[in-house]
Amino acid sequence: MRQHKAALAVRLHEMQWELDEAAYEVGGGRFTADQRFALADKLRALAEELGEDQVMTIDGSTL
């Protein structure tokens, strides 16, 4: 589990860098529609992975 969390943290940082670069390129009018769609796909995949990591426990029972 610890390795999974570390790998997730790395992917989050990578996405942060990619988003920073995208913001710069969008601002300069250099980010294409294909690049936007590809970035959106990556964001959806990362969001799904983040959602998988959320397990709620109440009184020792996993929901």
Instruction: Report how many domains make up the chain.
Output: 1
**Structure letter (DSSP) for residue 22:** H
What is the arithmetic mean of pLDDT over 9-38? 97
Identify the domain containing residue 53 by its residue range. 2-62
Q: Are 40 and 15 in contact (CB under 8 A)?
A: no
Largest CA distance in the chain: 52
Report pTM: 0.75
Given 3-state DSSP classes, what are the helix, strand and coil percentages for the chain, each rounded to the nearest 5? 75, 5, 20
pLDDT tens, 32-62?
Answer: 999 999 999 999 999 999 988 555 556 655 5
